[in-house]
């Protein structure tokens, strides 16, 4: 039997096993929350200039009912049909996403910044027949649609559901000043028109969810594609409901029903924000402050100023960016209870500075797209351990194994594998990939981790990001952590490049701030705390690092740049990354 030392470290208000909720599907979760918080504000979309619009729980419920009816009665979709949704954080997102789920259809979340080729792959692979897209990027559709099965296009405005005067001002700026509204040349239906038609069709059927249960596919959530072609992780209603409840149970009494205000700067089409911010905090009656884009970080200023933010979620780069904003440091949020970090390693120096500036804890969790996403989380209330990803959430078992599948001793690195109700049944139409992701019924994360005697886990690094120098393993996270602690370093990414003598050599890419260190100083600093084979052989200073939509540094792209421009100057590489 697998040992579970973490159970002794659960807070007293956190049950060891998942307490079954009174619903088994996401529409059931939605209706339960609406019944309790009907007239409470559910979502507020805050633009960088402070202009905003809001929807109550009841309004989101009624609008999503109308969209579900539009999909089933007007478009003619059936249960299980796929609907691609491509928009940033905005009021339309919960209306459309909840409507897709209420229709018994499958949500295909799509990054609005995808290129035509990326859109074509995801739409074709998923077999989506309906696309709901923000109108700002609809000029890509003439190139994309002929290569896909998309038959119906619904367009959304960023100002949807805003007060008319405010919406008019923003639209005028988009058209005249920013010129960010292209002419849409493909047949399409505006969201408001779709909702009108949906309202007219309400009541024609009340059986959209007949046969929909915990094992029914709810979403195709595509992996980031950082290690190959993006694959659709199949997430069932049971996966998503379970992980939502696991997270809420793990947070215990620190989440106050009906009283929280959560800042959602991470994109809700990403699994972290989807499960935790969108679904989890909706379940708890929170007010969700949606920010369409957190870049630059000054886009968050009015949200922090105008709303009593109690919770925020983010990745290391977002927290670090805020800590380098004078307005944030001089006037940190006064009502903040805690912050949750995930998506990439949280640097200890960032966590410590966040606590110093805000006076509140920042706790790290861990998971993947395939795990809906959370596998582990640091308990609040002083029980967590800095520098770790915490302990498994209720009803989840995690192990570290060697190449033969045997458990490694506590404190030793091994591949992290897991079991739990939140784990995907597999990849969409990719049985070979599904089989390769499992070992004797355990999901293989591809991450190297270690467990201490108390059951707290620490991610050493991605298995595929590991650098081998003269036969020794070098984990980029460790080197990045050391460099990130230096004054004058805003961000850092570490990769391995081919080397004739050592097989691979460590290279660090640094985004500097004022008074940055020199290459020699960086190398000297690393030599003080790292074994010689882990010390960067070269350092490059660049304007920015390539990142995923949630701000995770893409080492794959850094490696490609490093390999193709190994003889280029520092200045040239800076331009390539900018």
Q: Residue for token digits 């849409």?
A: 184
The CATH fold of domain 52-212: Rossmann fold (3.40.50)
The radius of gyration of the chain from alpha carbons, rounded to an integer in Å, stands at 23
Buried-state track 104-130, b at ≥16 Cβ within 10 A, e below 16? bbbbbbbbbebebebbbbbbebbbbbb
263 bridge partner residues: 289, 312
Confidence (pLDDT) at 227 = 44
Q: Sign of torsion, CA 514 520 526 528?
A: negative
Task: Give residue 468's pLDDT.
Answer: 81
The CA distance from 277 to 261, in Å, is 10
Give the pLDDT score at 384. 81
CB-CB contact of 227 with 464 (8 Å): yes
* Residue 462 to residue 104: CA distance in whole angstroms: 36
Strand segments, DSSP code E, in 338-488 are 338-341, 362-367, 374-377, 391-392, 397-401, 414-419, 426-427, 438-439, 442-451, 457-462, 467-469, 472-474
User: What are the residue ranges of CATH 3.40.50.980 in the chain?
Assistant: 52-212
Instruction: For the chain of 578 residues, list the mean pLDDT of each consecutive stretch of 10.
Output: 85 92 97 98 97 98 98 97 98 98 98 88 97 96 97 98 94 84 95 98 88 98 68 97 96 94 95 96 98 94 98 92 96 96 84 95 92 95 85 97 93 95 97 93 93 94 80 82 93 90 90 94 92 91 89 87 54 28
Secondary structure (DSSP) of 108-137: EE--TT--HHHHHHHHHHHT--EEEEEGGG
- Structure confidence at residue 226 (pLDDT): 42
- The torsion angles phi and psi of 184, rounded to 5 degrees, stand at -90, 120
* Residue limits of CATH 3.30.300.30 in the chain: 466-577
Res 564: pLDDT: 66
For 439, the token pair is 């070992």
Number of other residues whose CB lies within 10 A of the CB of residue 207:
10
The answer to whether 183 touches 171, Cβ cutoff 8 Å, is no
Measured CA to CA, the distance from residue 324 to residue 511 in angstroms comes to 13
Q: Print burial letters for 477-499: b (CB count within 10 Å at least 16), e (below 16).
A: bbbbbbbbbbeebbbbbbbbbee
571, containing H or E segment = helix 570-577
pLDDT at 561: 83
d(CA 475, CA 496): 10
Residue with tokens 């707290």: 456
Q: For the range 292-296, what are the long-range contacts, defined as Cβ-Cβ under 8 Å and sequence gap of 24 or more?
A: 292/45, 292/47, 292/88, 292/89, 292/90, 292/158, 293/88, 293/89, 294/265, 294/266, 294/318, 294/321, 294/551
Residues 285 and 42: their CA atoms lie apart, in Å, by 7
Architecture of domain 466-577: 2-Layer Sandwich (3.30)
**Reduced to 3 states, what is the DSSP secondary structure of residue 259?**
coil
Note whether 386 and 351 are within 8 A (CB). Answer: yes
- Close Cβ partners of 55 (under 8 Å, ≥ 6 residues apart): 41, 42, 43, 63, 91, 94, 95, 161
């Amino acid at each position: 039997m697998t040992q579970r030392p973490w159970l002794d470290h659960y807070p007293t208000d956190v049950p060891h096993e998942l307490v079954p909720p009174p619903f088994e599907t996401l529409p059931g979760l939605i209706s339960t929350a609406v019944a309790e918080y009907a007239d409470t504000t559910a979502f507020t979309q805050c633009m960088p200039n402070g202009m905003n619009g809001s929807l109550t729980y009841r309004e989101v419920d009624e609008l999503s009912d109308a969209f579900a009816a539009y999909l089933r009665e007007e478009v003619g979709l059936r249960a299980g049909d796929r609907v691609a949704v491509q928009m940033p954080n905005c009021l339309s997102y919960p209306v459309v996403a909840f409507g897709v789920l209420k229709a018994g259809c499958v949500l295909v979340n799509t990054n609005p910044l995808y290129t035509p080729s990326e859109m074509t792959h995801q739409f074709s692979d998923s077999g989506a027949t309906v696309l709901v897209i923000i109108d700002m990027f609809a000029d890509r559709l003439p190139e994309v649609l002929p290569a896909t099965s998309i038959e119906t296009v619904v367009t959304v405005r960023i100002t949807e559901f805003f007060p008319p005067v405010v919406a008019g001002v923003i639209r005028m700026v988009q058209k005249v000043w920013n010129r960010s509204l292209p002419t849409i040349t493909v047949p399409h239906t505006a969201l408001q028109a779709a909702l009108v038609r949906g309202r007219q069709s309400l009541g024609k059927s009340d059986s959209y969810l007949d046969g929909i249960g915990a094992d029914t596919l709810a979403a195709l959530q595509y992996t980031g594609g950082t290690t190959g072609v993006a694959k659709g992780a199949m997430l069932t209603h049971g996966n998503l409901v379970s992980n939502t409840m696991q997270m809420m149970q793990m947070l215990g009494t620190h989440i106050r029903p009906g009283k929280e205000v959560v800042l959602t700067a991470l994109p809700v089409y990403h699994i972290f924000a989807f499960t935790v911010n969108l679904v989890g905090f909706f379940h708890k009656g929170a007010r969700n402050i949606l920010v369409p884009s957190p870049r630059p970080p000054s886009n968050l200023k009015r949200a922090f100023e105008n709303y009593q933010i109690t919770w925020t979620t983010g990745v290391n780069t977002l927290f670090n960016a805020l800590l380098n904003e004078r307005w944030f440091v001089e006037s940190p949020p006064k009502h903040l209870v805690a912050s949750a970090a995930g998506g990439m390693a949280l640097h200890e120096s960032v966590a410590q500075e966040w606590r110093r500036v805000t006076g509140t804890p920042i706790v790290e969790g861990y998971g993947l797209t395939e795990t809906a996403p959370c596998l582990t989380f640091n308990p609040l209330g002083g029980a967590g351990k800095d520098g770790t990803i915490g302990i498994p959430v209720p009803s989840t078992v995690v192990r570290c194994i060697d190449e033969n599948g045997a458990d490694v001793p506590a404190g030793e690195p091994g591949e992290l594998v897991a079991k739990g109700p939140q784990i995907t049944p597999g990849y969409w139409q990719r049985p070979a990939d599904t089989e390769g992701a499992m070992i004797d019924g355990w999901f293989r994360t591809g991450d190297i981790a270690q467990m201490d005697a108390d059951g707290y886990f620490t991610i050493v690094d991605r298995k595929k990001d590991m650098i081998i120098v003269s036969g020794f393993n070098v984990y980029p996270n460790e080197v990045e952590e050391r460099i990130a602690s230096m004054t004058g370093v805003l961000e850092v990414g570490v990769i391995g490049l081919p080397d004739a003598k050592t097989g691979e050599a460590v290279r660090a890419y640094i985004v500097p701030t004022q008074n940055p260190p020199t290459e020699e100083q960086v190398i000297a600093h690393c030599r003080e705390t790292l074994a010689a084979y882990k010390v960067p052989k070269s350092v490059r200073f660049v304007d920015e690092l390539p990142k995923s939509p949630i701000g995770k540094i893409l080492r794959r792209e850094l490696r490609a740049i490093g390999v193709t421009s190994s003889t280029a100057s520092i200045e040239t590489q800076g331009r390539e990354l900018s």
